[in-house]
Amino acid sequence: MSSESLQTPPDDKSGAPILCGLIGMDIQSSRSPAMHMGEADRQGLRLVYCLYDLSLHKDRDSALPGMLDAVEACGFSGVNITHPFKQKVIPLLDELSEEATAIGAVNTVLFRDGRRIGHNTDWSGFAESLSRQLPDADLMHVVQIGAGGAGAATAMAMLRLGCRELVIADKNEAMARALVERLGVNAPAGVEVRLAGADRAAEIARAGGLINATPLGMEGHPGMPVEAAWLRPGLWVADVVYFPLETELLKSARALGCATAHGGEMAIFQAARAFDLFTGRQADRMRMVENF
């Protein structure tokens, strides 16, 4: 296993910039390039961050291995991985950090000494974001929609933050069940991680908080993961989507008086940790928030 400690990027005496990027689908509105290159500029580093939107690729569903080979061959320090590849990328890697292993998803790949090392910075990014935006959130009973790569990370974050009952729902029940089983094995004593029942409205009615960990609401994926009628005042609602910052879910929730947390700060804090790993230098988190 690889630790999450900083690792020096490949030594390049030619003066070439640090190369990194993002691989995913429907990512043209991503703010990752601006976040990474802006922080690098403020630290006096030369860094180039590229977008590789496989939704534009003729072989979009099978292009990931070739794209990973290409960026590694070009001397990239690493790449971020987003929907829908956070779990699909794992068989293409040589090792995983402890966090990525526990979560079962990777959002950051480092290329070091001929090896591909998978990390997950999403869970800590979500934990820090929720703690900042909703410091008084009731974490006793939370419903989460989505059990994919982002959902695995947010679920881990909820357990680390002290959630006592975490209910997981996903249209892919097998995926949701697998996540529940994986998290349940190492859940602290007295903490329940379970599948949502068939009546999702009733599940949300009993919860203190709701998390959207699906792409619904993101550019290219319009809609909401739940019915607006299931929301109520007193329920807090968090979304991992950040383009746009105000999703249909958050807009509906705020109209009812719900406290909400947008996905922007999760994006910032996961990017800051990825920047640390790509460059071997600590990103200034608060400066990145101010410049988001």
pLDDT of residue 3: 44
Name the CATH superfamily housing domain 18-119+270-291: Leucine Dehydrogenase, chain A, domain 1 (3.40.50.10860)
Indicate the domain borders of the chain. 18-119+270-291, 123-261
Q: How far apart are CA 265 and CA 94, in angstroms?
A: 30
pLDDT of residue 15: 75
Decide if pLDDT at 11 tops 70: no
The larger pLDDT score, comparing residue 14 to residue 214, is at 214
The larger pLDDT score, comparing residue 51 to residue 186, is at 51
Per annotation, catalytic residue among 86, 88, 171, 251 = 86
Distances (CA, A) of 240 to 33, 66, 211, 271: 18, 28, 8, 13
Fold held by 123-261: Rossmann fold (3.40.50)
The average confidence (pLDDT) of the chain is 94
The reply, when asked if residue 284 is annotated as ligand binding, is no
User: Average pLDDT for residues 143-157, to the nearest whole number?
Assistant: 96
The reply, when asked if residue 106 is annotated as ligand binding, is no
The reply, when asked if residue 52 is annotated as ligand binding, is no
pLDDT of residue 2: 43
The reply, when asked if residue 73 is annotated as ligand binding, is no
pLDDT of residue 220: 86
86 is catalytic: yes
The larger pLDDT score, comparing residue 6 to residue 53, is at 53
The reply, when asked if residue 97 is annotated as ligand binding, is no
Q: How far apart are CA 231 and CA 210, in angstroms?
A: 9
Provide the phi-psi class of 114: left if phi over 0, else alpha when psi is between -120 and 50, else beta: left
- Same fold for the pair 18-119+270-291 and 123-261: yes
